Amino acid sequence: MTMHGHDGTDARDGLGALGRAVRRDLGIIGYPRREWVPARYHDGRRVLDVAIIGAGQGGLATAFALKRGSIDNVQVFDRAPRGGEGPWVTFARMITLRTPKYVTGPDLGVPSLTPRAWFEARYGVQAWEKLDKIPRQDWQAYLDWYRDILDLPVANDHAFEGVTWEDGLLRLSFRNAAGEQQVHYARKLVLATGIEGCGEWHVPAFIRDSLPRDRFAHTSESIDFAALKGRRVGVLGAGASAFDNAATALEAGAASVTLCLRRKEIPSINPYRWMENTGFLAYFCALEDRLRWGFMRRIFELNQPPPQDTFWRCRRHANFAYHTGCPWQGVSMRGDEVVVQTPKGEMAFDFVIIGTGFAVDLSRRPETRSFAHAVALWGERYTPPAGEESEVLGSYPYLGERYQFVARDPADPLAPMLANIHNFTFSATPSMGLSGASISGMRFGVERLAQGIGRDLYVADGQAHLDSLLSYDTPELISLDPPACDPV
């Protein structure tokens, strides 16, 4: 069956032409072209120059940026099967992305690689003109195409189990889909594991400890919404994901959905729209700690509101209600129903969905557990003035200028290892601004990260590069006699 775009174009022809344009563009700007990082070996196997954990948008874009810098000995690993990387077709329940459709990021400035070029090739120019925001399924399809057209090295079904420091190298442990353990050695490690990459999704203890596991779910989990048809659903949270899940339950036929939030008003100001300027995206990380703390404290305070269309997606249902200034103070089972205690009285549900975000705690992640105790946190590096404290902000890792972890104690034996682990998750935000887990800031963050990794590798091999120059003897001038002229 032939696929057609919204304006009648053949989508396969369009994407085929776009693929040829990508290859041409990359050929034109592909200078220098030689791999330059000296090969290293351990136990007879070549050591990876860079290992990337996470094949979502941040991991793929980082692999492409390194490839453009002629750093080719790179491998991307992801625990998910092919096509299931990231949130877009797993637990994301919005209809479209929240960012403006003209946002760029993974393309790193190559026009034929932009989301717009892909969308127009697949659906047609008119479809792009009519588009408000990019559907999340299309964003995943774009990332799948991006991975294929760039031939990025991704190993799916590889769960990362941890890292240790061995002979000046990072020893990485994985478990594949068959349950077999694998070990790879690398000089550099990039954690591109998304929003929860330095902690875990948060369910308040009083809920987790009081309810049967089949009566609640976090918004990040797989939820059988069809099973909620005809049921009373409670949702806790003020963010976009809470509203997305409320809307999905309503559309699945829930008898009622009641959303409760602690705040006295639903957040309405989106600081992400303010942050989308070149100054902030490119140079925030150069600010002194006092200013970075001030920016982030305000951004975290505002939070990100539900988009207008998401809010109306809920409000169009007569059986939807929301209560501000209504934190949940306790939960229990009474017979077959979930009873929630609130300042506004008792509420009863059949199932509850928790949209309370995530907690930053490096010790809770397999990627970071082995070195969590050694990492410097913002709360240890900066003391804010009275009245500007933030326990949440203080729990985030304090990063160096190349996204690398910094040791609490410079004399710690793990300090050299931490300097070679680059944190490209959401938890980099207080130190670096919008980056890997944010489409809006991806281009600036990826370029800074790749440049930093390349710099580190070159400096570490400085003597080898000098030795290479000293032994370089390839002649360019090979003849002192002019060529004979052809007879006329």
Residue 360, Cβ neighbours under 10 Å: how many? 25
Residues, the chain, total? 488
* CATH level 2 (architecture), domain 11-198+360-464: 3-Layer(bba) Sandwich (3.50)
Give Cα 134 distance to the centre of its chain.
17
Matching fold, domains 11-198+360-464 and 203-268+305-356: yes
Which pLDDT score is estimated for 9?
54
Token pair 């049967």 is at which residue?
A: 212
Which pLDDT score is estimated for 2?
45
Integer Cα distance of 421 and 52 in angstroms: 10
Which pLDDT score is estimated for 283?
96
Residue 234 neighbours by CB under 8 Å, 6+ apart: 257, 258, 259, 260, 338, 340, 347, 349, 351, 352, 353
Pick the CATH number of 203-268+305-356 from 1.10.10.10, 3.50.50.60, 2.70.50.60, 2.60.40.1180: 3.50.50.60
Which pLDDT score is estimated for 183?
97
Contact (CB, 8 A) for 401 and 361: no
Residue 321 β-bridge partners: 258
Integer Cα distance of 26 and 30 in angstroms: 6
H or E segment at 358?
Answer: strand 358-360
Q: Which amino acid does the sequence have at 171? A: R
Note the pTM of the prediction, 2 decimals.
0.93
What end-to-end distance do the CA atoms of the chain give, in Å? 61
318 is written with which tokens? 């007569």
Which pLDDT score is estimated for 319?
98
- Write b or e for each residue in 293-328: b if 16 or more Cβ atoms lie within 10 A of its Cβ, otherwise e: bebbbebbeebbbbbeebbebbeebeebebeeebeb
21 is written with which tokens? 């344009």
Going from N- to C-terminal start, the domains of the chain cover 11-198+360-464, 203-268+305-356
293 is written with which tokens? 């703390």
Output the CA torsion sign for 238, 241, 244, 246.
Answer: negative
Cis peptide before 32 (omega within 30 of 0): yes
Backbone angles phi, psi at 397, to 5 degrees: -65, 140
Backbone angles phi, psi at 325, to 5 degrees: 55, 40
379 is written with which tokens? 């709360």
Contact (CB, 8 A) for 297 and 303: no
Side-chain-side CA neighbours of 222 within 13 Å: the count stands at: 3
H or E segment at 57?
Answer: helix 57-68
User: What pLDDT tens digit does each residue of the chain (488 aa) get?
Assistant: 445 555 545 667 899 999 999 999 999 999 998 899 999 999 999 999 999 999 999 999 999 999 999 999 999 999 999 999 999 999 999 999 988 899 888 999 999 999 999 999 999 999 999 999 999 999 999 999 999 999 999 999 999 999 999 999 999 999 999 999 999 999 999 999 998 889 999 999 999 999 999 999 999 999 999 999 999 999 999 989 999 999 999 999 999 999 999 999 998 888 988 999 999 999 999 999 999 999 999 999 988 888 899 999 999 999 999 999 999 999 999 999 999 999 999 999 999 999 998 999 999 998 999 999 999 999 999 999 999 999 999 999 999 999 999 999 999 999 999 999 999 999 999 999 988 778 888 989 999 999 999 999 999 999 999 999 999 999 999 888 888 776 65
- Write b or e for each residue in 73-109: b if 16 or more Cβ atoms lie within 10 A of its Cβ, otherwise e: bbbbbbbbeeebbbbbeebbbbbbbbbeeebbbbbbe
Integer Cα distance of 406 and 428 in angstroms: 12
Output the CA torsion sign for 127, 130, 134, 136.
Answer: negative
